[in-house]
Amino acid sequence: MTGAAMSEGAALLIVVLVGFLPTEIWRSLAVLAGRRLEEGSPVFHWVKAVATALLAAVVARLLFAPAGALAAVPLMLRLGAVAGGVAGFLAFRRSVFVGVLVGEILLIAGIMLSH
Amino acid sequence: MSAPPDFHPAHHAPAVWFLKGLKAGLSVPAIVLFASYLGFGAVLQSVGFPIGAGLVSTLLVWALPAQLILIGGIAAGTALPAVALAVAISSIRLLPMVVSVAPYIRGPRRSLFWELVSAHYVAMTVWLEGLRMLPHLPGEARLPFTLGLGNMLVSISMMGTLAGFLVAGELPTPLAAGLLLLTPLSFTVLMVRNATGPTDWLALAAGFLLMPATLRLEGGLDLMIAGIGGGTFAYVAGRLLERRRRPS
């Protein structure tokens, strides 16, 4: 968080204006006029690519510039745990559960061993 | 395209269908949501975002990627209009989801108000579960059933958010770090699972690699450059790659 902790009221206002409205508008538009938009159109492919890159960027931010307890963990261990999780996912029948489990075990074992 | 009405022999009052929807929400996807929002709650705690507003974000935004972009953007100091734009772009994917599931939710009686209310619950889980379960229900059951299902899943996710927030500050370091890793780890695995074509992989790589390169930029431009820039690059490069692969 930049600067002092945000007040509950300010945060609530931000959640409604910056979180709720930009999200709900698409759900409402879908009900009101959704059938005119095509799923396979170039605009939709671009939107999907930007949404994927945005989410990847947010995830990378949580890994490269984490807050709280994760910040004390070395960068290589954070990245290694996620890489190991992806490897576990690919190795064990593309199971998301196994992937997450492997990543978590790697991180926690790594922290315990380095202490 | 509207679903053919399925005249099921069982006829119940709307309240009964609502309760059946609530019960259907107690399922494996609910456990996955709880765990995902546990990680989100821990992220809220780590960046110092107030829990009340965090809980309201789960109730009102009800789309974890959008919530993460919202909190991540605010934590990075990104200008609020830019965060709103990023949230809007990440949420456009909800539009085709609602379009495809709305005919099943609607049932025989059209009511714009209830269509808008029920559309709010549509995110990945309700979309998947709705497409799976609603076609087997009688028309008049679908709206109350969807509202029951949606409210149960939202409630469980809010409990996950609260639990993650409360627990994050209390756990010993290795477990607290593990809880905070839950979100980036599970989203990375999910994005790898969902990546089907070169555009998806390029977008994933561009967003992931551009972020650390832009971290030191002033004004929180990193999300915009990595997201919109990286995504546009992936879209163009992906189209070129696919065109070369399938010469017409």
For residue B9, tell me if it sits in a domain: no
* Residue B218 confidence class, pLDDT cut points 50, 70, 90: low
pLDDT in tens, B6-38: 444 467 899 999 999 999 999 888 988 999 999
Q: B154 and B204: one domain?
A: no
Query: What is the token pair recorded at B178?
Result: 């593990």
Measured CA to CA, the distance from residue B97 to residue A26 in angstroms comes to 10
Which structural domain, as residue segments, surrounds residue B231? 195-248
* Stretch (H or E) spanning B67: helix B64-75
C-alpha torsion sign, points A67, A68, A73, A78: negative
Query: What is the ipTM for the molecules in this complex?
Result: 0.86
Tell me the one-letter amino acid at B122: V
Chain B positions in Cβ-Cβ contact with residue A38 (cut-off 8 Å): none
pLDDT in tens, B172-185: 889 989 998 998 99
Tell me the one-letter amino acid at B186: S
Is residue B38 less than 8 Å (CB to CB) from chain A?
A: no
Helix crossing, A42-64 with B230-245: angle to 10°? Answer: 130
Measured CA to CA, the distance from residue B110 to residue B79 in angstroms comes to 40
Measured CA to CA, the distance from residue B239 to residue A51 in angstroms comes to 17
Query: Which positions 107-166 of B are in contact with A (Cβ < 8 Å)?
Result: 112, 115-116, 119-120, 122
Number of compact structural domains in chain B: 2
pLDDT in tens, A70-91: 999 999 999 999 999 999 999 9
Task: For tokens 């409210």, name the residue.
Answer: B151
Q: B174 and B209: one domain?
A: no
Interchain CB distance below 8 Å, B53 and A69: no
Across the A:B interface, residue pairs with CB atoms under 8 Å apart total 326
Q: B238 and B131: one domain?
A: no
For residue B189, tell me if it sits in a domain: no
* Closest to B106 measured CA to CA, from B78, B75, B137, B83: B137
Interchain CB distance below 8 Å, B96 and A30: yes
pTM for the predicted model, two decimal places: 0.80
Q: B26 and B141: one domain?
A: yes
Interchain CB distance below 8 Å, A27 and B119: yes
For residue B92, tell me if it sits in a domain: yes
Q: B62 and B154: one domain?
A: yes
